[in-house]
Structure 1
Amino acid sequence: MLDRNNQAGRTAILYRMVMPGHICPYGLKAKDLLRRSGYAVDDRHLTSRAETDAFKAKHDVPTTPQVFIDGVRVGGYDDLRRYLGKPVADPKATTYRPVVVLFALTALMAMAASHAVSGTPFTVRAAEWFIAFSMVALAMLKLQNVESFATMFLNYDLLARRWVPYSYIYPYAEGLAGILMVAGVLNGLSIPIALFIGTIGAVSVFKAVYIEKRALKCACVGGSSNVPLGFISLTENLMMIAMAVWMAAVSLGYAGGHTM
């Protein structure tokens, strides 16, 4: 059987745009993939728009780069990945990766900050910082395009459906509560905000997913994400509720943790 991932000695011809104002990124990725797969690359540059258009017309292709192997056109970068038996990402596929990556990084940030302050990453303060950092990071992602976030948020949030301005207020409120919690100031403001928006959010997600059985995308990491609305999506809201309850308990002396 032909091993397309180990083709030492074989040559692939690659046509890609290399112009003074533009170098095709997919051309660079195709060149790198071919070399890592053992191919010698005959790298042919299309150095002008006219040359590129003429090439596309000649081979009846809509885009470049284009790869040829053994005189046969393989196609563009995604086609090359398929030819070599490698996975091709579906831009419309849902994934929890953005949420998992965000929580992993904020957890590491919290432990790093705890180590810098206390000499150990495993402290109550690290747990508090993890939630607060996560809230700020999630708010930042939403605020990159608040209009897009608000549109997606309106698909399932119960309060936003009744009062549309809430869909714009939410990320600012989440970010403000998170920053106050990091600083450990104005608990009388941060606790009610986190408890309120966290509770409304948790109820909204539970209703949409588990009662109405709707297949929706979560606006938790911004309005352009492909994160499915579901159990993991509840995490953002449940963390805010837990943080608010914990901080309230510490403030009232019912818990022995560190008050940030």
Structure 2
Amino acid sequence: MPDHLCPFGLKSKWLLEREGYAVEDHHLTTRAETDAFMQKHGVKTTPQTFIGDERIGGYDDLRAFFGDRLKEADETSYRPVVAIFGTGFLMALAVMWMAGAALVSLATLTTFIAISMVLLGIQKLQDVESFSTMFLNYDLLARQWVPYGYIYPYAETLAGLLMLAGVLPWVSGPLAFFIGAIGAASVIKAVYVDRRELKCACVGGGSNVPLGFVSLTENIMMLLMGLWTISRLM
């Protein structure tokens, strides 16, 4: 409509056409038409898809009809982690390519870690309040000093940016080592000692990534990057 676009209507139409159906697209042009339609068919939302005389339902119902697996709201997903680390690795390769450096090298690895730290930091900075709440469930320092949960996203992002720029290594090295060491110890205690089943705050406060290997990897990467940066000062 001129003043309203229905994304689920467009998606439903596209999905039907993708599956080979000819689609009759019936627009509900007024609020009264929409209310009357929902009352007639006993539904609470539009659009509604009909194949022949059979009502399939809304967009999610249509996806299920065609066999698409729908993700549950609280379902575990590693997609954010794969996206972040995959993009970080490709960005590191792009930086090395632009610099005319060897793609397979220690510099590529350290650039990848620094970029990943920044990307992970951005995820946390989107909602620091939510992150800090989830972080308090397992981080040893944050449980003793709550402000650390608010500082952490900024510290991780700052350390990654300084490492990418190659400046102030006497700040970025100790900072990455400190937060990485505390984080690794916290994950080991919560997951492998206390055997707690928690969500990881590594990609932000709203994630469904389980606490464990991913978070431990993130922290070990920061710890080693911090050690490497400090070693170059000596």
TM-score bin (small chain): over 0.9
Q: How far apart in 1 are the matches of 2:145 and 2:31?
A: 50
Q: Does structure 1 residue 248 correspond to structure 2 residue 230?
A: yes
Aligned residue identity for 1:210:
Y
Q: Does structure 1 residue 175 correspond to structure 2 residue 157?
A: yes
Q: Which of structure 1's runs of 4+ aligned residues deviate more than 4 A?
A: none
Q: Does structure 1 residue 79 correspond to structure 2 residue 61?
A: yes
Give unpaired runs (5+ residues) of structure 2.
none
2:102 to 96, 111, 120: 120
More helix by share: 2
Q: How far apart in 2 are the matches of 1:216 and 1:53?
A: 43
2:189 matched to which residue of 1? 207
Give unpaired runs (5+ residues) of structure 1.
1-18, 253-260
Aligned residue identity for 2:158:
L
Residue 119 of structure 1 and its aligned partner are, at CA, apart by 4.2
Contact 2:172 2:229 in 1 (8 A): no
Deviations 1:139-163 (A, max 9, x none): 1111111111111111111111111
Q: For 1:73, what is the secondary structure of its paired residue?
A: strand
Q: How far apart in 2 are the matches of 1:121 and 1:81?
A: 42
Aligned residue identity for 2:61:
D
Matches within 5 A, 1:70-149: 70-149=52-131
Contact 1:113 1:121 in 2 (8 A): no
2:44 matched to which residue of 1? 62
Contact 2:56 2:62 in 1 (8 A): yes
1:4 matched to which residue of 2? none
Q: For 1:74, what is the secondary structure of its paired residue?
A: strand
Deviations 1:139-189 (A, max 9, x none): 111111111111111111111111111000000011111111111111111
Q: For 2:201, what is the secondary structure of its paired residue?
A: coil
2:30 matched to which residue of 1? 48
2:148 to 141, 146, 166: 166
Q: How far apart in 1 are the matches of 2:3 and 2:192?
A: 51
Q: For 2:77, what is the secondary structure of its paired residue?
A: coil
Over the aligned positions, Cα root-mean-square deviation in angstroms equals: 1.3
TM-score normalised by L of structure 1: 0.86
Query: Number of paired residues?
Result: 234
Q: How far apart in 1 are the matches of 2:171 and 2:50?
A: 63
Q: For 1:217, what is the secondary structure of its paired residue?
A: coil
1:188 matched to which residue of 2? 170
Aligned residue identity for 1:36:
R
Q: How far apart in 2 are the matches of 1:48 and 1:228?
A: 46
Q: For 2:55, what is the secondary structure of its paired residue?
A: strand
Contact 1:136 1:179 in 2 (8 A): yes
Contact 1:114 1:123 in 2 (8 A): no
Q: How far apart in 2 are the matches of 1:251 and 1:33?
A: 58
2:209 to 216, 224, 227: 227
1:15 matched to which residue of 2? none
Q: How far apart in 2 are the matches of 1:143 and 1:216?
A: 21
Aligned residue identity for 2:117:
M
Q: Does structure 1 residue 22 correspond to structure 2 residue 4?
A: yes
